[in-house]
Amino acid sequence: MPQKEPGTPRPPHHEPAAPPPPQKQPWPGREAGLRPRADHGEESYRGAGKLEGRVALVTGGDSGVGRAIAIAYAREGADVAISYMDEHVDAAETVRWVQKAGQRGVALAGDITDRAHCRSLVEETVRQLGRLDILVNNAAVHFDTAFEDLDPTQLERVFRTNLFAPVWLTQAALAHLPEGGVVLNTGSVTGLQGNATLADYAATKAALHNLTRSLSQALASRGIRVNCVAPGPVWTPLVPATRAQEKVEGFGGDTLWHRPAQPAEIAPSFVFLASQDARFYTGEILAPTGMSVTTR
């Protein structure tokens, strides 16, 4: 029987056959409350040494796509620091998987809407892990809201989390990233297509796509690559924590696969773009959307 190629996920072992059922969680959501549970590649991702000796900082690494990235990076040979808000149980679980892969894992709590905290995340990563080679600006927030109901508090929270924080983190990281360093941003299909009830979120993601291209031009002379992954719907705790139950039911059903992606299906894009396989890639927006048509 032919062997599977290393460094790629096997089909998720508990992939839902259909979009998820209705459910609700308190914000910002917890992995343990998801029905069905998400697959982060815990049992499926096999590394191939693509990131050996490197150190990564992944924001929002406690759950969802961030956890899947952390697991994949560790299995590719990288030490990983994750940042998170206050989801201590989820963060500890991510670190456990990083350490199980034989790599050093660090969990750093706090609010990235604070510029000083963004600087401290970078400094703590370097202090505890010795260097920084890869910055993944993955953390984000959204709230399902009619446009006319957007208020200043929500608007500021979304922009500070999704756009300002990546700017501050990247600025801080530039003091440490070597030639060959990598900055990766997590965009969204909503930044490509818009969204009727996530207008503020979609605007920040469109801005992040553009920031990716601007930074790629600004940092090329330093040998630093900047790219973006813009997924379609992904099954993470943020979904039931920010949507009404009736909108969770059927989430991802507008893709060609009639379901949301599992985080394990998105992480390989981040591995590729962080590795030497992608050494000619910069300013790119890789969009594993499942051909999602996002209108709500």
User: Measured over all CA atoms, what is the biggest interatomic distance in the chain, rounded to whole angstroms?
Assistant: 59
> How far is Cα 269 from Cα 157, in angstroms, rounded to an integer?
28
pLDDT in tens, 223-247: 999 999 999 999 998 888 878 888 8
Give 128-173 pLDDT, tens digit per residue.
Answer: 999 999 999 999 999 999 999 999 999 999 999 999 999 999 999 9
Residue ranges of domains in the chain:
51-286
pLDDT of residue 14: 45
Q: Where are the alpha helices (DSSP H) in the chain?
A: 64-75, 88-100, 115-129, 152-159, 165-173, 189-193, 199-219, 238-242, 245-248, 263-274
Please report the pLDDT score of residue 10 as a whole number.
Answer: 44
In this prediction, residue 176 carries a pLDDT of: 98
Based on the residue annotation, tell me whether 73 is a catalytic residue of this protein: no
Termini Cα distance of the chain: 44
Q: Global pTM?
A: 0.91
Catalytic residue among 45, 84, 201, 281: 201
Overall fold of domain 51-286:
Rossmann fold (3.40.50)
Residues in the chain predicted with pLDDT less than 70, given as ranges, are 1-18, 293-296
**pLDDT value for 245:** 82
